[in-house]
Amino acid sequence: MPHLKRMPAVTIALCLLIALAVLMIHGFQGTPRSAKQAARLTAAQVTAPPVGSSTPRFGLGLCCASQANFGTDYVASGMPRTAAPRAVAAVAISIAAAGPMRVPILMYHYIRVNPVARDKVGADLSVSPQRFSQEMQYLAANGYHTITFDMLAGAVKGTVRLPARPVLLTFDDGYEDFFTSAYPVLKQFGFHATSFVITGKVGQGGYLTWDQMRAMQAGGLAQFESHTVNHVEMDRISLSRAQSELVNSKATLEMQLGTQVKYFCYPSGHYDSGVEKLVAKDGYVAAVSTHAGVATGANNIDALPRVRVHGGESLATFAGSLGRPAASTP
């Protein structure tokens, strides 16, 4: 380079020295930390609680969770501003997953006054509208929060943090009184519920119509999942027929309601290992059974236990059933 030849040797040497110094400074300040170092630092920043504070306040997810849900008093909202948001989310999720999961999945059928007094089965399946309203009032007054199946499945995987006192409301068979008697009460309390629909019965006398389901779904509090096409006991039919019950009920619900159907309810609680495998294979995330008990993280997600709400049971019995798992029944 001609102009370099014209520069004195001292000037060139000075330039080289300055360039070397700049490189060294940049090298020391700009060298990225290893991923492990960065993660350790971020976690330490996030999990260090501010002095004098022990209130569990999370900047992510639901804000009403109690300390007991997590077994920790970490304060994520007190984190330094330098903490990366994605790393914060990962830490918060892992803390949430550490807490024990206990979710009573309540099982209702009819919300009605049993029309035939001598029908004992019908009486057991029928919770009166008045008692149902009292039960929902009890849940609201005692700090229960209705959750969705998506939240439950997320909690099982450790990706969703549940609110304090979670409870899941389910209604089997898709009876019309879910619309006429249960839904007005659910709306009153802002409670979420899942109705398991027998798609072959929709629109028949005493059963929900598609329009009623669409109207409730639009309200954001009710969702509709599969309870087969024909309410057949799944362990007493061939696997190919079980397959068509699973696939066709799902397809009909999805076509009529425009939602993704991910949850299944075994009619009369009947299933076997072959049916369980089909449930997972056919795109269902979870299924509920009639095994009695409160759902925990230890349960098989393809046969979750539920708490049956009996017609005529006292409010004290209802309250007691929420708090402790009952013995399993076949």
* Least separation in angstroms between CB 168 and Zn ion: 17
Contact window for Zn ion (CB under 5 A) among 110-118, 204-212, 259-267, 309-317: 259-267
DSSP code at position 30: H
Please list every residue from 49 through 88 that binds Zn ion, using CB under 5 A.
none
Please report, for residues 59, 61, 82, 84, 98, the alpha-carbon distance to residue 45 in angstroms, rounded to integers and kept in the order given.
15, 20, 9, 10, 19
Q: Is 173 in the site for Zn ion (CB under 5 A)?
A: yes
* Least separation in angstroms between CB 202 and Zn ion: 14
* Least separation in angstroms between CB 282 and Zn ion: 19
Q: Which amino acid is at 141?
A: A
* Least separation in angstroms between CB 219 and Zn ion: 24
The structure tokens listed for 314 are 């006292």
Looking at the Cβ atoms of 56 and 267, the one nearer to Zn ion is: 267
Looking at the Cβ atoms of 262 and 270, the one nearer to Zn ion is: 270
Q: Is 245 in the site for Zn ion (CB under 5 A)?
A: no
* Least separation in angstroms between CB 241 and Zn ion: 17
Contact window for Zn ion (CB under 5 A) among 17-25, 62-70, 157-165, 168-176: 168-176
Among 172, 177, 225, 302, binds Zn ion (CB under 5 A): 172
* Least separation in angstroms between CB 172 and Zn ion: 4
User: What number of chain residues touch Zn ion (CB under 5 A)?
Assistant: 3
The structure tokens listed for 139 are 């849940």
Element at 317 (helix H, strand E): helix 315-323
* Least separation in angstroms between CB 108 and Zn ion: 11
Please list every residue from 262 through 281 that binds Zn ion, using CB under 5 A.
267
Cβ contact 196:173 at 8 Å: yes
Q: Is 302 in the site for Zn ion (CB under 5 A)?
A: no
Contact window for Zn ion (CB under 5 A) among 98-106, 164-172, 249-257, 283-291: 164-172
Q: Report the interhelical angle of 129-141 vs 315-323 (nearest 10°).
A: 50
Cβ contact 116:122 at 8 Å: yes
Please report, for residues 103, 138, 309, the alpha-carbon distance to residue 317 in angstroms, rounded to integers and kept in the order given.
17, 12, 9
Where in the chain does DSSP place strands (E)? 102-103, 105-108, 110-111, 126-127, 145-146, 166-173, 193-197, 222-226, 263-265, 286-292, 295-296, 304-308
| Residues within the interface to Zn ion (CB under 5 A) | 172-173, 267
